[in-house]
Structure formats: structure tokens, C-alpha cells
Structure 1
Amino acid sequence: MPVVPVRYDRVLSIVGEVVRIALPAHDQDDSSGPRYGDLAVIQDVDGEARLAQVVKLGAGEASLQVFGGTQGLSTRSHARFLGHPPRVAFSGNILGRVFSGGGAVADGGPSLDQDPQVEIAGPSANPARRKLASRMIRTNVPMIDVFNSLVESQKIPIFSTAGEPHDALLARIGVEAEADVVVFGGLGLTFDDYWRFRSTFEDAGVFARTVMFVNQAADPPLERLLVPDMALAVAEHFAVEEKKRVLVLMTDMTAFADALKELGIAMERVPSNRGYLGDLYSQLARRYEKAASFEGGGSVTILTVTTMPGGDVTHPVPDNTGYITEGQFYLRDGFIDPFGSLSRLKQHVVGKETREDHSAVMNTMIRFYSGARDAERKQAMAFELSEYDRRLLRYGALFKERFMDITLSRPIEEALDLGWKTMAECFSPEELLVRQNLLDKYYPAAPVA
């Protein structure tokens, strides 16, 4: 669509990052006038141009959020509408490239202005085109692959707190996961965090199949609203048009929600829970529901980090997220918590795409680890420990060492074999309460005493 040539000179107000522009009466009913979501360019009296987006259309006015900030703008500024919503480059040339939160090339490489552009923030895929999730994405992280398998087309967050190694875990998964394309979205990252992600992908040799959209802490906060939409638009096109298995990694969705709150305050919208707006659930769901497997095409799987301020899982962002996603991974004290974590789609792949003993190993190991936690509490309270309690304590220590360390890298078959070995070192076959045919096939012939 060609650029709308009309210049709008009447600025009604500037509040926070939002500029209100008066619209002529004919524009309110004219299809050539601005539409919700359209981009605009605001120019100050010195000629500096800044990108903005229509976030509200009212009687005789349009509200624009300015991504570069409104500092230096005055009521003598003017706006021109571009006639289209935000777009992002999409072609094979974007692989191995880094883009800013506004979609501009940010790695010093050649411009992609001549490449095809696709609109972002479109509707979710037609449910009729989706197919049931049935393929596992191997990550080589034992606590994920064995106990809460990640399934293609799944949407799942990592619930974490400040100081936890969630970014290191996310980068690990990006490097080792079975995926044709990895699309990374960073929201409010420090430069060190951004460079750590990029270096990890480069050092592992996977950067050539990775696309990065990064909003750094020093960049305009409102650009964080664009990052998820750009990442997901690119992911959808790779999945549908190129039939690729795409893994989308984003950190941190709490920063995205905070940017939404900041915009709502500037627009004087009535806040809901803890200052967040009433449509927080819808805004999050609109992004997460992009996860899908397509008939005759590829898939989009979404794995995000959601930090919980103060470790509070009832905070509006993790609370709303939990109702949208298909499980969660809890990261506590540097470990993926086996009790709080859950993958609601793992039953589609456990024992079907994986070995027949997967379910038995998973359930039995967690049962013994639960007993080990109880034995630890008895020991802490100076209760007398039985011989079985001491074996549980030994098992708990081995379980943490061999499975819970997020830096470990083991194929699931190797992890299952190690699970049998670990249980055999602490318990007799009868104590496992596992089917005899599985014991005959997988229980070590000469367990260590």
C-alpha cells in the first residue's frame, strides 16, 4: 500500500510515550485514513523522524506510541501515516542475522531492505490447519527429556526469578534442541546477556540457523512490544512456507508485560491487578497461541522465560501465563524442580516416540526422589533414620548429581540407562514396583552394591 501523503500537524497532547494527533473529519470515515496498528512517522521541528504506531482511534483523534521516546517532541511536531502495520524482512537471508527491537539490521551486516517484507501481529493459525502434537523435541537436558518432554508445537514457559541461570538454560536448549530454525527474541537484555546468547550460538555452530530480534535495556522500552510479534511472524512463515520445525525462544515475557503496563498508563487506561491492564491474559494468549503444527507444513514451538518478581507465582504475569500454556518448567536454586514442573503434552510422545521403559523410569525415579526429600526432612529434624532412609538419601544425592544439573548434556537413551543404573545402586528390583518384562530387559545384571 503506498504511503498516505497527508500531513497531520495538530498535536493534541504528549503523555509519556504516547502522542495524540487530531484527525480531520473526513479521515474518520475514509478508508484511506489511519487504521489501528498502522505505522506512522513523527517529525519534530528539527526534522528528526521517529517511528510510531497507532494504538487507539477515537472521535477525531489517533493515539500513537512513539518507539524512540517523546523527548524533544512538541505540539509543533507533525505526523505522516505509512498506511501499513509493522513489517519484518523474511527470506533465507535473515538466517544468521541480528535485528533490533524495531526490526532494523543490528549486526553491521548488509541491509535487507530489498528482501520481501511480511506483516507482524497477524491472527493465529486457523485451527483447522493444525494437527495434534506428536513429535518430541530432544534437548539433551535430562530433566526435560526424561521427566517433562518438550513436544513439537508446545507453548511452555520457564518460571524463574532474578539470579537464576534461566538465560543459560534457554541458550543451551537453543543449541541442542532438534529444530531446523531457532528464532530468538530478547526483551530488555543487557549487552552482556545479548552477547552471551550470540556467542553461545556462534561457538556451538548453530548461528547459521538462528535469527535474533533483540531489544536491549538501553533501547526504547516500547520496542519490547514488537519483538514477540516479529519473532513469531518469522517463525510462522518458516513453518508454513518452508515447512521447517521452528523453535522460538523468548526472554523475558515479564518485560513484555511491563511494557504493556507502561503503555496503558500513558493512555490513562484503568489498571487491573497490580497495575497491569485487564487484557493482559488476551495479550499473552495472542502470542502464545502462535504455537502450532501445520498439516503439510512445519511447526512452531514456543519456549519462554517468565520471571516471577519476588518468586511470587501469583504475580499477574506468571499467573495468567499458567492458564495459557501447556505446562511449565520451574527453575529453583539452579535446578529444574521435578515437582513444580509439568509438560501436559508429554503423554503424546512418552513410550511412543521414546523407549518402552520411559514412563516406568520417569515415574519410579520421581517417586524415589520424593522419598529422598522426606528422608532429608527427617534427617534435618534429627529423627532416627532407617536403613531404607539412608538408601533414599544416597539416591537423592545421585539424582541431583546425575540428572538435575542443567549443564548436563545426555541423549534420552543414555539418560534412561543411567536412571536404571542409579536405581539399581540403591534399591532391589522388587522395590522398584516395575513390570517384570521391563526389569528383565533393562535392570542392570550386576547392580553396584
Structure 2
Amino acid sequence: MLFDLHAEDLVTAIEGPLVFLRRNVNVGLGDAVEVSHAGGDGRIGRVVAIDGDQVVVELLEDTTGLGIEDARIRFLGEPMLMPLGTGLLGRIFDGLGRPRDGGAPVAARVERRIDLAVINPAERGLPQDFILTGVSAIDVLNSLVRGQKLPIFSAGGLPHDKLATSIAQSARLLKEDGQDFAVVFCGIGVSHDSAESFRAAMEHSGALEHTAMFLNLASEPTAQRLLTPRYALTAAEYLAFDEGRHVLVILTDMTNYCEALREVSASHGEIPSRKGYPGYMYSDLATIYERAGWVEGRPGTVTQLPILTMPADDISHPIPDITGYITEGQVVMDRELDHRGIYPPIEVRSSLSRLMDQGIGEGFTDPDHPSLAQQLFASYARAAQVRILSSVVGREGLTPTDRLYLDFGDRFEAEFVQQTGVRELEESMEIGWRVLSLLPPVELSRLSDEQIATHIRAETASG
């Protein structure tokens, strides 16, 4: 039911994005509101607080020029909705799900709430099957599984935007028809330059054809950032559970989301918790991350790849700390590797994909994939220990085997982690076998004799 009300004796105050109203109609928390003034367009907001005699509306657009006397309030009598239809892919939307590319609005088949509940645990299926990202350090050692939520922990100045764009352009399933795969790319609080870079890269590569982009700019009101990932996930759920697609959702940057949550919480007068963030940040982030997965008996899946920048490079900061509890692992980007010119600067020892075993090996990727991943990780961990020892006694003080591990660590980073383009899984595995061939067979305890004879000796002979 719609309620159109004039502001006379209704609006009591306007403070930043908040409009305070006398309560004279029955409204619900989260209901959509349209606020306009004489000669101006309507501005979208939502009800964020209700008490006995007052309603607080938070505007999601600029409040410049809005006055107490000439404002007109329109309660829409429903929560924030998003129109959904078959024309989502190939489009670019703003943070509120409106076309940003100059095209017509999506021909809606349905309208859905953007704050839908997470997937019922009793209806969830176990994430399974492999998603190729084109990044060796992820595909071989920290594999992304369909239905998983696997965050990327970055830091200020590291090339996470470049990595996000590369994955969005190249990600696909190994066994499914490409028509069944789609990407939803969500930029939260990004600069104009970054937004244009994302758009241009996706258009020029042709990846935009199977992608829906949601771009919320840093210059737009803070409150929009809290809704942008929810609009993106609503679109992803429609593509997955209505159209039967396997959808990869890339969310960047979730730190901007959490900073917006802190700012909005403070504006509401809420009591801050750890480092000024609201105490409910854990449950709030869970309402986003837990929308990944697949529902038994329904087609399609939603996989999430959230990206966040760790403030002050601190992995124990509340944002990465809470994210790590909710999600199934993390891919960590390292500043030292970046300083040495290695791209992508992924620190594999700190990275983990907890559901990796559900998507690799026989029937998914390659029967030898699990053993290769375990051996590469173990050998690189040993190389890191030898580097510490070398810094004390020097290379000359190392045993011959330790020197081989030192060389292995350098080649692993320079040839396996470092890459200039997108790699197929077979190419990534071949490079992995090649760098392992530097070590003597007796050190390859995670491989069977057959695997050593097939891959390591073959690499040695060809080398």
C-alpha cells in the first residue's frame, strides 16, 4: 500500500542521509521510501528505525537541496526489490541495481527482495566440482570449488583489482558448457578510474557477454555500499536457481563495505565494538557470505570470491578475522612478493582452500592433482625454512640438499607463482612437475614411485 505524505508538520530534521519523520502511518523496518521536493526527482531511501512516535529514513542518494518544508514522502509499503529477467547478462548496473550503461531497464519477469534469507542449511548440498580461474597458485594449490566462498586477502597497493579482473575474464568450469557459466562482478566503493578500468577490460575481452556488473562508486552515498552486494547476490541467485547457471560472484572490496557499515552504524548512534565496528558485523557479513552454495534439487550454484584489503596488512584485523571464520579458507596476497615483481603475489603457505578435496582429483581434474599439490606445498615450506637458515650461515654453509631447496624456492616463485597470462590447468600442472624435478626423488615423499617415474623423470629427461 502506498502512502503519499507532504512534509508539512511531518519532517522534523534532516541530518546527512537521515530524514527524521513524525510517525503517522504504519510502516515496516526496511521498507522502501521515496523522498522528493518541488521540481526535483524522487530519491530512494529505506526505513532504518522506528519508535513510538518517530520514523527514521536513510536516503541512498544525495540529500543536497532537500528542505524540511517542501519535501514529499512516499512510503512504498514494501521492502527494497530488484527487477529480474533474462536480460541481466551483458549489462552494467549501479549500486542500486539501476542500469549504468545507458540501456533500458531489465524486462522484469519477477521482482525479489534484496535481503532474502541465506540458504537453509537443511537444503544445502556439499560444494563440489572445480572452477578454473587461470591462476596457477589458486587452481593447483588452493582450488576454487563450485558453491564455495573463498576470499582473497590483499593489502593496500597490491594488484587485487588486476587479479579480480583477470579471474572474471577467464573463469569457467572444466566440464560444463560455457553457456551454463556466468559471472556477477560487484565493485563496492570503487573509484571512477577503477570502475572504468573494470568496464573496459570486460568489454574488450568479450567477457561482459556472460557477466552482470554492479559498480558502486566511492563518490556515491555511503549507505549504498551496504546494498550493492545484496543487489548483486539477488541477481546471482536468479541466474543460478531460476536459469540454472553456475555463477561466480566477485565482490571487491569488502573492506569498503565494512567501513561503510561502521560509518552508518555510528550515524545511527549505535554502540561501537572492536575497533569501532558494530558488534553485529559478524552476523551482517554472514548474511552476505552464506548466500553462496547450491540447493539440493535445484539447478545452478552460487560461488563467491570476496576480495578485501587488510588494514595495515594485519590479518588479525576484525574484517579478515571475521571473514575467515565465515568462509572456507583464504588466498593471501603478499607485499614482499609484490616488491620483487612477482604477479600475482600469492603467498601459498598462508593460503588455504578448505573444500579443495571436493573439487580435484579423479573425476574432477586429474588423478595426480592432489599429490602434486601436497608435494609442492611441502617442498616450498621446506624451502622457506632453508631461506631462514641461509640468512644465518650463508649459502656455503648449507648442505647440498638444502641448496637444492633454496633453488627450488626461487624457481617455484619465478616460474609457478609468477605468470603473465591466463593458464590452463594442464599448463599449471606441467610447470609444477618441472620445478619439482629440481629435487632428488628421495625428497618427494608425497609422490608415489609411479608418479615420480611418469612425471619427474620425464621432466628431467626432457630438460
Please, what TM-score do these two structures have when normalized by structure 2? 0.90
The 5 A counterparts of 1:356-375 are 356-375=367-386
Shift of 1:430: 2.1
Return 5+ residue gaps in structure 1 as ranges: 28-32
Query: Whole-Å Cα distance in 1 between the matches of residues 420 and 183 of structure 2?
Result: 20
Pairs aligned (count): 440
In structure 1, which of residues 280, 298, 301 is the aligned counterpart of residue 300 of structure 2? 298
Matched, 1:51 2:61: no
In structure 1, which of residues 93, 101, 119 is the aligned counterpart of residue 113 of structure 2? 119
Determine the structure 1 residue equivalent to 2:155: 161
For residues 89-146 of structure 1, the C-alpha deviation after alignment (integer angstroms, 9 at most, x for no partner) is 3112121111111222111122336664322111112333321111111112110111
SS in structure 1 at match of 2:77: coil
- Higher mean C-alpha displacement, 124-133 vs 221-230: 124-133
Query: Whole-Å Cα distance in 2 between the matches of residues 38 and 120 of structure 1?
Result: 12
* Superposed CA RMSD: 1.9
Shift of 1:214: 0.6
Query: Whole-Å Cα distance in 1 between the matches of residues 286 and 240 of structure 2?
Result: 20
Shift of 1:313: 1.6
Read off the aligned partner of 2:114 and give its amino acid letter. I
Shift of 1:303: 0.5
Does the 8 Å CA contact 1:69/1:220 hold for their aligned counterparts? yes
Matched, 1:176 2:170: yes
For residues 384-405 of structure 1, the C-alpha deviation after alignment (integer angstroms, 9 at most, x for no partner) is 1222222112111110112212
Does the 8 Å CA contact 2:146/2:303 hold for their aligned counterparts? yes
For residues 378-433 of structure 1, the C-alpha deviation after alignment (integer angstroms, 9 at most, x for no partner) is 33334312222221121111101122125442222222222222111x12222212
Query: Whole-Å Cα distance in 1 between the matches of residues 274 and 120 of structure 2?
Result: 31
Determine the structure 1 residue equivalent to 2:178: none
Matched, 1:427 2:428: no
SS in structure 1 at match of 2:460: coil
Matched, 1:405 2:413: no
Determine the structure 2 residue equivalent to 1:280: 281
Shift of 1:7: 4.6
Distance of aligned partners of 1:114 and 1:325 in 2 relative to their CA distance in 1, 3 Å threshold: closer
The 5 A counterparts of 1:315-354 are 315-333=317-335, 334=338, 335-352=345-362, 353-354=364-365
Please, what TM-score do these two structures have when normalized by structure 1? 0.93
Query: Whole-Å Cα distance in 1 between the matches of residues 317 and 381 of structure 2?
Result: 27
Does the 8 Å CA contact 2:376/2:432 hold for their aligned counterparts? yes
SS in structure 2 at match of 1:339: coil
Query: Whole-Å Cα distance in 2 between the matches of residues 415 and 230 of structure 1?
Result: 35
Shift of 1:72: 3.0
Query: Whole-Å Cα distance in 2 between the matches of residues 47 and 140 of structure 1?
Result: 48
Return 5+ residue gaps in structure 2 as ranges: 174-180, 339-344
Shift of 1:75: 2.9
Query: Whole-Å Cα distance in 2 between the matches of residues 446 and 36 of structure 1?
Result: 64
SS in structure 2 at match of 1:185: strand
Does the 8 Å CA contact 1:40/1:81 hold for their aligned counterparts? yes
Does the 8 Å CA contact 1:100/1:213 hold for their aligned counterparts? yes
Read off the aligned partner of 2:301 and give its amino acid letter. S
